[in-house]
Amino acid sequence: MDGVINILKPSGMTSHDVVSFIRKCTHIKKVGHTGTLDPGAAGVLPICIGKATKVADMLSGQDKQYRAELKLGITTDTQDSFGQIISEQKVIISREIIEESVYSFKGTIEQVPPMYSAIKVKGQKLYELARKGVEVKREPRQIKIYDIKVLNIDFDNNTVLLDVQCSKGTYIRTLCFDIGEKIGCGAHMSFLLRTRSGNFTLDQAITIEELERCAKENKLNNLLTPVDKLFCDFPFITVNSNVEKKIVNGNQVSVDLIENKSGLRKGTICRIYNGRGVFLCLSQVVQKLDNGLYLKLLKSFF
């Protein structure tokens, strides 16, 4: 059984908890997630099973979308509502200042990762150091906020509801904290829901209860997105048995040996199938010193 299941991770479970749960349901060891979602957050968590684990790194690098709530006037050591309160301020801010501050984060920005994160420094995870009361210097990372929208401002409860579309590596907790600093009253993230990860969306996600039921009814295959469907935007090539042997042996193959080679240019990534329709691999067109074009193996699934 190979493919990806779009899971609706519940609040209170870690991403690793979900992976362990699915291993137990499927009795398959090769299971992995495609990007950690905070234990207190809920939402889309694509899970790779079997050969699909080979593309977990590619999926984790895709853009994400979130709905988050920003609580003004209170900062915490974890930058979310699960941490200890560090400071509290009275909030007397206009709608215009809030919106202007929020929208100023759109675009390519630098973000300092929070101490409560799984990033390693000298072999130790930051959150392990943070729990010991140790704070270390973190280098800022470049991220991209493709879009950010203010959906609602509740002045009675000092909350701001946001939709954020961002690149890999963005910490929404830190974004909320930084927005609070920009506004001048401080803030933390009080709610987080991941609504999209790559092409996997919230409305298509299934609950772990649904997954467990399907496992008991031997219907798990109905939930799987086949590996090749993850790359439907890439052109596909069908190869004959001779070319298939070369690919399976790890050899680069001249594009001249490919029958349906129209549109193949340097840099093109394509899906390779054999004559029986079996998905073999992802390959990329490269140019060698002889100026010839060749298919170079990127990810194998044979």
Positions annotated as catalytic residues are 38
d(CA 239, CA 259): 8
Comparing CA positions, the residue from 36, 13, 66 lying closest to residue 211 is 13
State the sign of the Cα–Cα–Cα–Cα dihedral 137, 143, 149, 151.
negative
Phi and psi torsions of 47, nearest 5°: -115, 125
Question: Within a 10 A sphere around the Cβ of 107, how many other Cβ atoms?
Answer: 10
Helix (H) or strand (E) holding 135: none
User: Are 282 and 271 a contacting pair, CB within 8 Å?
Assistant: yes
State the sign of the Cα–Cα–Cα–Cα dihedral 286, 288, 292, 297.
negative
DSSP calls for 15-72: HHHHHHHHHHHHT-S-EEESS---TT-EEEEEEEEGGGGGGHHHHHTS-EEEEEEEEE
Token pair belonging to 140: 């800022």
Comparing CA positions, the residue from 85, 65, 61 lying closest to residue 162 is 65
> Under DSSP, is residue 4 helix (H, G, I), strand (E, B) or coil?
strand
d(CA 9, CA 208): 7
User: Are 230 and 236 a contacting pair, CB within 8 Å?
Assistant: no
